[in-house]
Amino acid sequence: MPGKKILILGGGFGGAKAAITARSLLPVEHEVTLIDRNARTYVCGAMPLLIVGEREAEKTSRSLGRLAHRGVNFIQSEIKHLDLASKTVRTERGVLEYDYVIVGLGAEYNWDAVPGSRDAHSFYNIDGARRLRRRLSRFRRGRIVIAVSSTPYKCPPAPYEAAMIMRWHFKRTGASKDVDIHVYTPEDAPLPVAGQSACEELALAMAKRGISFHPKAAVNEISKDGRSAAFTDGSSMDADIVITIPAHRPASVAVEASLTGGKPWVPVNPATLETSMAGVFAIGDLNMVPMATGRPIPKAGVFASTEGDLTARVIASRILGTEPPPAFPGEGLCYLAYSGTQSGSVSGRFLAPGRPDVKFTRPSVSGMRAKERFESDWRRFRI
Ligand SMILES: Cc1cc2nc3c(=O)[nH]c(=O)nc-3n(C[C@H](O)[C@H](O)[C@H](O)COP(=O)(O)OP(=O)(O)OC[C@H]3O[C@@H](n4cnc5c(N)ncnc54)[C@H](O)[C@@H]3O)c2cc1C
């Protein structure tokens, strides 16, 4: 059998898992190549702890070069263009052909969607998280506003997690009574995907910690000096630190290749994650897998990883002529830390008929141990 070329675009949660699974299933005559602009990637789930000094950047990253030990070719390069007609990918380091391509380029941030957000604070990437950490380390009194720009955004619990971790941090530093924390979101309740009782528990947990929650209000402008935010409900708030959850959109390479087909995110067959083009798969944050409610499955690393694994199995079954794997199950678990020592979680079957069947687990020390194991497994490419 002539060797096939499998190209994986993006080495995040989804791409790395796809590469490892494809390599483990396919004989060596088939090439598995992963391309990413970065040599190192970061586990974003650690960012809310990193901003208060509870995680170190080196310990929250992994080197994609290490995939070579598993037989995966890794190319560090910017991907310029995906040409579906000629089945090629143009990178800064040349043009590559493929028989199968897995697009795992993630969501990118649209800083222009909310004027002023580019210069405001954010913990949604490593550089922003490091800058915010420096600011928080000197912060003793004043107001912090955490403001969601639009939905969907990565890791729906992250704004609430960050607010509660900050409260815990300021209690430790003795500044808590002088720090006022507010969270704004366009949604009706915190974490609607987890159901009403989870929303009530989370709202109560924030209220107990003196965190003010403002639903139905997306941030739509931040002043030039970064000290005032305006919201879609007509309100505004002055603050010493404004932190935004930026507007998200699919990676531009996928949009320019017309994979979105005029939709906000890349439509896929929910069972296989294949796009409308045969042999072209879209996994993770940039695709749209609808839940029974019609809303997209949350943008989370656990789903991206399961999807990467599944697409690699689908491709291997087609090359080897074996049984295809079972459909994408839509099951997953995300941690929600309340402090540096305790974490809860949100888990369940997100593609259950009717509505997502989701369980909300209260914070505990053992929950934090499980979160730490998750981060450590991720660093070792086990996730
Ligand atoms: C603050 C925060 C907390 C989070 N917490 C959790 C959590 O607790 N649990 C959880 O499961 N998920 C969490 N997430 C979500 C999780 O990080 C994402 O859902 C996951 O990373 C998506 O994986 P992906 O493979 O689709 O994309 P990514 O991981 O974003 O990977 C995309 C890759 O593509 C590369 N790329 C993009 N464009 C190009 C190009 N043109 N050329 C070359 N390379 C390119 C990027 O460099 C990147 O490495 C969190 C996210 C944030 C921001």
75 in the same domain as 128: no
User: Is it the case that residue 339 has pLDDT exceeding 80?
Assistant: yes
Is residue 188, in this structure, part of any structural domain at all? yes
Of 109, 112, 110, 114, give the one whose Cα is nearest residue 220: 114
Report the nearest-CA residue for atom 7 of ligand 1. 45
Q: What is the CATH number of the domain that holds 68?
A: 3.50.50.60
Report the nearest-CA residue for atom 33 of ligand 1. 10
Ligand 1 centre to CA of 16 (Å) is 11
Cα 293 to its chain centre, rounded Å, is 21
Is residue 329, in this structure, part of any structural domain at all? no
The two three-digit tokens of residue 197, written as one number: 């009782």
255 in the same domain as 237: no
Ligand 1 centre to CA of 44 (Å) is 7
- The partner residues of 358 in beta bridges, in order of sequence, read 348
Is residue 88, in this structure, part of any structural domain at all? yes
Of ligand 1's atoms, which has the minimum distance to the CA of residue 41?
49
State the average pLDDT for the chain: 96
Ligand 1 centre to CA of 180 (Å) is 30
User: Residue 216 carries which side chain, given as an amino acid letter?
Assistant: K
Ligand 1 centre to CA of 238 (Å) is 31
User: Of 247, 268, 302, which residue sits at a domain end?
Assistant: 247
120 in the same domain as 168: yes
Range of the domain at 47: 5-106+251-320
232 in the same domain as 259: no
Of ligand 1's atoms, which has the minimum distance to the CA of residue 78?
42
For 326-348, what is the mean pLDDT?
95
271 in the same domain as 215: no
Task: Answer yes or no: are the C-beta atoms of 57 and 133 closer than 8 Å.
Answer: no
Cis peptide before 152 (omega within 30 of 0): yes
Of ligand 1's atoms, which has the minimum distance to the CA of residue 286?
26
User: Of 286, 320, 354, which residue sits at a domain end?
Assistant: 320
The winner for highest mean pLDDT among 198-202, 357-361, 363-367 is 363-367
Quote the radius of gyration of the chain (alpha carbons, Å).
21
Half-sphere exposure of 161 (CA within 13 A, CB side): 31
Predicted pLDDT at 352: 94
Give the chain's domain count.
Answer: 2
User: Is it the case that residue 140 has pLDDT exceeding 80?
Assistant: yes
User: Residue 276 carries which side chain, given as an amino acid letter?
Assistant: S
Place of tokens 């678990």: 333
Task: Indicate yes or no: pTM above 0.75.
Answer: yes
Query: Which percentage of the chain shows pLDDT scores above 70?
Result: 100
Is residue 327, in this structure, part of any structural domain at all? no
- The partner residues of 91 in beta bridges, in order of sequence, read 79, 94
Is residue 367, in this structure, part of any structural domain at all? no
Predicted pLDDT at 2: 81
User: Of 281, 297, 320, which residue sits at a domain end?
Assistant: 320
Q: Which residues line ligand 1 (CB under 6 A)?
A: 10-15, 36-38, 41, 44-45, 47, 78-79, 104-106, 123-124, 154-155, 158, 251, 253, 284-285, 299-302, 304, 334-335
| 285 vs 297: CA distance, rounded Å | 9
Place of tokens 């402008």: 221
Is residue 378, in this structure, part of any structural domain at all? no
Predicted pLDDT at 202: 95
Report the nearest-CA residue for atom 26 of ligand 1. 284
Is residue 309, in this structure, part of any structural domain at all? yes
The two three-digit tokens of residue 149, written as one number: 């720009």
For 262-282, what is the mean pLDDT?
96
DSSP for residue 242:
E
Region of 195 please: left (phi>0), alpha (psi -120 to 50) or beta.
Answer: left
268 in the same domain as 190: no
Report the C-alpha dihedral over residues 299, 64, 90, 280, rounded to 10 degrees: -50
147 in the same domain as 72: no
Ligand 1 centre to CA of 12 (Å) is 5
Ligand 1 centre to CA of 304 (Å) is 8
Confidence of residue 58 (pLDDT cuts 50, 70, 90): confident
Confidence of residue 176 (pLDDT cuts 50, 70, 90): confident
Predicted pLDDT at 131: 97
Ligand 1 centre to CA of 13 (Å) is 6
257 in the same domain as 153: no
Distances in Å between the alpha carbon of 187 and those of 149, 151, 292, 361? Answer: 11, 8, 18, 21
User: Is it the case that residue 357 has pLDDT exceeding 90?
Assistant: yes
All residues at 6 or more sequence positions from 130 whose CB lies less than 8 Å from its CB, including other chains: 50, 57
User: Is it the case that residue 1 has pLDDT exceeding 80?
Assistant: no
- The partner residues of 314 in beta bridges, in order of sequence, read none
For 248-270, what is the mean pLDDT?
97
231 in the same domain as 119: yes
Confidence of residue 82 (pLDDT cuts 50, 70, 90): very high
271 in the same domain as 217: no
Ligand 1 centre to CA of 312 (Å) is 18
Predicted pLDDT at 59: 86
Distances in Å between the alpha carbon of 224 and those of 96, 219, 354? Answer: 44, 14, 45
Is residue 370, in this structure, part of any structural domain at all? no
239 in the same domain as 276: no
74 in the same domain as 125: no
